[in-house]
Amino acid sequence: MARRLPLIAGTLALAGAIAALAAFGLASSSPSGRRAPALPRERLAGTPVTLASLLAGADGGGALVVFWASWCGPCAQEAPALERFADSRGGRGRIVGVDWSDPELSSARSFIRRHAWTFPNLRDTEGTVGIAYGLTGLPTTFVIDAHGRISQTLRGPQSERSLRRALASVEHD
């Protein structure tokens, strides 16, 4: 029994670490399949976009809704990868950013300029759209399938590769 104690303690510590990651929104959740809520109406930068127009531009594939804020350090870390993805052949027209609860419009616009984002961005000033999506932390990317359902929730900064993989998983649903 004394020999098993370190093994049991290690297993419990690992389980606790996984639970903590999930509680703080750092682990990816499983697909929910629920209908994606409407996007905010207030345009921050780029062309006006709705969820329907975003999915229509995806040619039967999925789309990404990325929640971010100018005060979010991990969002700044992720920003270059988002622009590279949006500028790629596979990402063009399939991504929209949503500025979540930024207190100052000028801060949000400055963030977009600083990272040279060319994809559309909307503003969720009151945070109600993020709450409707089930946002638990920033940055968070929701993968929307061609039928307008949330297929995956990606928490934390993403890479171009992880964004491509997420969209590939909903390509021909």
Q: What are the tens digits of pLDDT across the range 53-110?
A: 999 988 778 999 999 999 999 999 999 999 999 999 989 999 999 999 999 999 999 9
Clarify whether residues 146 and 94 are in a common domain: yes
Clarify whether residues 23 and 91 are in a common domain: no
pLDDT in tens, 140-167: 999 999 999 999 999 999 999 999 999 9
157 in a structural domain: yes
173 in a structural domain: no
58 in a structural domain: yes
Clarify whether residues 43 and 123 are in a common domain: yes
Q: What total number of domains does the chain contain?
A: 2
144 in a structural domain: yes
Clarify whether residues 1 and 56 are in a common domain: no
Clarify whether residues 81 and 2 are in a common domain: no
85 in a structural domain: yes
Q: Please enumerate, as own/partner, the contacts of 125-130 that have beta carbons within 8 Å and a separation of 24 or more.
A: 125/40, 125/42, 125/101, 126/101, 127/100, 127/101, 129/37, 129/38, 129/39, 129/40, 129/98, 129/100, 130/67, 130/98, 130/100, 130/101
Q: Which pLDDT belongs to residue 170?
A: 92
78 in a structural domain: yes
Q: What's the domain range around 22?
A: 1-27
Clarify whether residues 117 and 153 are in a common domain: yes
pLDDT band at 173 (very low <50, low <70, confident <90, very high): low
Clarify whether residues 74 and 19 are in a common domain: no
81 in a structural domain: yes
137 in a structural domain: yes
CATH code: domain of residue 37: 3.40.30.10
Clarify whether residues 5 and 38 are in a common domain: no
Question: What is the pairing mode between strands 63-68 and 140-144?
Answer: antiparallel
Clarify whether residues 19 and 72 are in a common domain: no
Q: Which pLDDT belongs to residue 60?
A: 72
Clarify whether residues 41 and 70 are in a common domain: yes
CA distance 118 to 120: 7
Clarify whether residues 37 and 94 are in a common domain: yes
3-state class of 43 per DSSP?
strand
CA distance 10 to 4: 10
Clarify whether residues 68 and 86 are in a common domain: yes
